[in-house]
Amino acid sequence: MNIKLSDKKILVTGGAGFIGSNLCEDLLKKGNYVVCLDNFATGKKQNIAPLLEDVNFQFIQGDIRNLSDCLKAVDGVDYVLHQAALGSVPRSIKDPITSNDVNVGGFLNMLIASRDAGVKRFVYAASSSTYGDSESLPKVEDKIGKPLSPYAITKYVNELYADVFSKTYGLETIGLRYFNVFGRKQDPDGAYAAVIPKFVGQFMKGESPVINGDGEYSRDFTYIDNVIQANLLSLVVDNREAVNTVYNVAYGERNTLNDLVGYLKEHLSEFDNKISNIEVLHGPNRLGDIPHSLASVEKAKKLLNYNPQFSLQKGLKEAVKWYWENL
């Protein structure tokens, strides 16, 4: 999809992270000036290393928990793409205080800095975890349940704060509820690695991945290019009805973890046929996990002109190739 967005100064918080670095790269290709704010808590220098030579790229090492860093980063900025957060449900269960400090306190700092700098629009990473214990499928934006983890609480509070800032201060905001994003640059290592890069890394080492539960939990896995499209569309949309609200960002299709493992084996076996014979293990269900997740993307299609191009299968083919070449 060809989205016209150029000659703007755009801040990407968490710009050295998985999603943020991909956004930085795409925005630079389109001819924008990009400011990246990151403290490398979860982001990586290698994700932005190729961008540092670009005269239209500015890196600020700072923390969204420090208002002064946020004020420095938004100076002269047209738009903010706020991706900085401490992700992971298990991490938030283990350490709710730090997750809250970053995801709520840091978010509020960014809203204040953006308001005071006269930023035109503040687009932020929301989360499908906001749907909590709601059992209805597909997930529709205006029907949520009670949060099931400290992380989910923080992401819901983000939506409440954004709504208040748009109504009280006139700051344009758009929240994007990401559903299980995957793709190039997503870290396969660490205790809180997402399932797809973690399993890819294990298969490539000849190790058996462990599925939490029986593998019949399902997710709406969303390739990074669909997410980039949603962010850019959120910056350029000029329909008043489309602003100061939240959207699901997903493909709109669910696959079980057993399906996922089958697809990963299939694609990885093209590079090493021994992978097709690796056994998969099963462990207990993970605390705070919801059984099934599927997004309705009708609202985003209607108001943002969102048109996701990558299914799980198509995205996995791209992601596996990237991992094989870069791990």
Nearest 5°: phi and psi at 44? -130, 140
Residue 13 in contact with residue 82, Cβ under 8 Å? Answer: yes
192 is annotated as an active-site residue = no
Strands 255-256 and 218-219, bridge-based pairing: antiparallel
Helix (H, G, I), strand (E, B) or coil at 292: strand
E strand or H helix that includes residue 184: none
- Residues whose CB is less than 8 angstroms from the CB of residue 164 and which lie 6 or more positions away in sequence, other chains included: none
The 10 Å CB-count burial string (b at 16+, else e) for 187-201 is: bbeeebbbbbbbbbb
Answer left, alpha or beta for residue 14, where phi above 0 means left and psi between -120 and 50 means alpha: left
Complete DSSP assignment for 115-174: HHHT-SEEEEEEEGGGGTT---SSB-TT-----SSHHHHHHHHHHHHHHHHHHHH---EE
Residue 92 in contact with residue 151, Cβ under 8 Å? Answer: yes
Q: How many residues make up the chain in this entry? A: 327
Complete DSSP assignment for 18-56: HHHHHHHHHHHHTT-EEEEEE-SSS--HHHHGGGTT-TT
The residue annotated as part of the active site, out of 151, 178, 223, 306, is 151
Catalytic residues: 151
